[in-house]
Chains A and B, each alone.
Chain A
Amino acid sequence: MATAAVRGRLTWQTATVTSVVTETDAVRTIELDVPDWPGHLAGQHLDVRLTADDGYTAERSYSIATAPGEPVAITVERLDDGEVSPYLTEELRAGDQLELRGPIGRWFVWDTSDGGPLLLIAGGSGVVPLRAILRHRQRTGSDVPTCLLYSSRTIADVIYHSELDMYRDGAEVSYTLTRSQPPGWTGYSGRVDAALLAKIAWPASQHPLALVCGPTSFVEAVAGNLVALGYPAGRVKTERFGGT
Chain B
Amino acid sequence: MVALDGNSIGGLLFEVFGTDLTAAQTICATCGAAAPVAETVVYLRAPGTVVRCRTCGSVLMVIAQIRGMSCVDLGGMAALDTGQGG
Residues of chain A with a CB closer than 8 A to B6's CB:
107
B4 touches A240 (CB 8 A): yes
CB of A183 within 8 Å of the partner chain: no
Residues in A neighbouring B37, C-beta threshold 8 A: 107
A interface, size bucket: 20 to 34
**Bound Cα distance A219, B41 (Å):** 12
Among the listed B11, B36, B39, which residue makes an inter-chain contact with A104, where contact means beta carbons less than 8 Å apart? B11
- When the two chains form their complex, are residues A239 and B11 in contact, meaning their CB atoms are under 8 A apart? no
Name A192-244 residues within 8 Å CB distance of B. Answer: 215-216, 219, 237-244
Please tell me if the beta carbons of A102 and B11 are within 8 angstroms of each other in the complex.
yes
Q: Which of chain A's residues have a CB closer than 8 A to the CB of B4? A: 216, 240-242
Seed contacts A61-B10, A107-B37; 12 additional CB < 8 Å A-B pairs: A10-B20, A61-B11, A101-B11, A104-B20, A105-B22, A105-B38, A107-B6, A216-B5, A239-B7, A241-B8, A242-B2, A244-B44
Choose from B3, B15, B38, B39 the contact partner of A216 (Cβ within 8 Å): B3
Q: How large, as a class, is the contact surface on chain B?
A: 20 to 34
Q: Using CB atoms and an 8 Å cutoff, list the residues of chain A in contact with chain B.
A: 6, 9-10, 45-47, 59, 61, 101-102, 104-108, 215-216, 219, 237-244
Total cross-chain contacts (CB, 8 A): 68
The complex places the Cα of A2 from the Cα of B71 at a distance, in Å, of 31
Q: Is the CB of A105 within 8 A of B18?
A: no
Bound Cα distance from A151 to B21, whole angstroms:
30
> When the two chains form their complex, are residues A107 and B7 in contact, meaning their CB atoms are under 8 A apart?
yes
Chain A residues contacting B14 (CB-CB under 8 Å) are 10, 104
Residues of B within 8 A of A241 (CB): 4, 8
Interface centre among A45, A46, A61 (most CB of B within 10 A): A61
Least CB distance from A4 to B in Å reads: 13
Q: B10 contacts A104, CB within 8 Å? A: yes
How many angstroms between the C-alpha atoms of A244 and B46 in the bound complex?
13
Report Cα–Cα, A244/B15, bound state, in Å. 21
- CB of B66, distance to nearest CB on chain A (Å): 13
